[in-house]
Amino acid sequence: MAPRRFSAALALLCIGAAPIALTGCAPEPAATTGSADSTADSHSETASPESSAEATHEAEPAEQTPADSDFDATAHSLDDPASLWVVTNKLRRLQPNDFAPDDLVMPAGVENEFAQPLRHPAARAVEAFVAAAAADGLNVRIISAYRDYATQVALYDGYVMRDGQAAADTYSARPGHSEHQTGLVVDFDDHGDCYLSACFGDTPAGIWLAEHAAEHGFIVRYPEGKQEVTGFMPEPWHFRYVGPELAEQMRETGVTTLEEFFGLPSAPGYAS
């Protein structure tokens, strides 16, 4: 995928009337195919998964054969938007739609293109993650982190106007379904030519981040070959904080998506 920077028109679309910069817009999609853009208790009912009857694919529960046989897959809610394990996708919207974390902080000592915060545990983990990359000679920065519901409304509506809803849905989450709204997601860049592009996964930084993500509590949320499960094209720059316990468990079992690990329905499309 050829690298694409945001156009001036798209920048204005993203910021609207307020100077909130680009806030992690999706890359511009190709003309014919959309480009990629695009959580303490047991599973509660505090979120609003869409009817599973609408799902066309069912993810099989992960084979639980990890090194840590005491891992408890019900330790955190998958529905509560304040949970580190919340799963939001095209069939599972956040509830309430305008949920906002109450522990947002700025990651310290990390270049942050648009000065966006993260939830406290994710921010501290990012600091360690980026420092570890730097120790190995890689200069990594944040290009998108938390964005609120209103920002996602502006982004998504703008993409629909520009490309149509079908194309927009391949690379941008509808408002209320965006992982960025949880404050647990960070998009990374290495100052190279693969800014928000698939080729980032093949760069030294992209490879290193994917290999070391679990050590710092992160997963690559939208991996290669899992579009029919996650609903989004591969995003090798998009890292989701789930905590070291779950991240290491997923690495040990070889299960790469939250949907498959927890036996949730695949979410290739929205229920309506």
> How many residues are recorded in the chain?
272
Phi, psi dihedral angles at 155 (to 5 degrees): -60, -55
Three-state secondary structure readout of 93-107:
ECCCCCCCCCCEECC
Is the separation of the CB atoms in 226 and 241 below 8 Å? Answer: no
Q: Beta strands 104-105 and 141-144: pairing type?
A: unpaired
204 upstream amide cis, omega within 30 of 0: no
Q: Is residue 245 among the annotated active site residues? A: no
206: enclosing H helix or E strand: helix 204-212
Enter the tokens of residue 122. 């994710």
- Provide the CB-side half-sphere exposure for 174 (13 A, CA): 17
Candidates 28, 179, 235, 260; catalytic one:
235
The amino acid sitting at 75 is A
Closest to 159 in 3D by CA, of 263, 5, 9, 17? 9
For residue 13, how far is the Cα from the chain centroid?
Answer: 21
Q: How far apart are the first and last CA of the chain?
A: 30
Q: Is the dihedral of CA 24, 25, 29, 34 positive or negative?
A: positive
Catalytic residue numbers, as ranges:
235
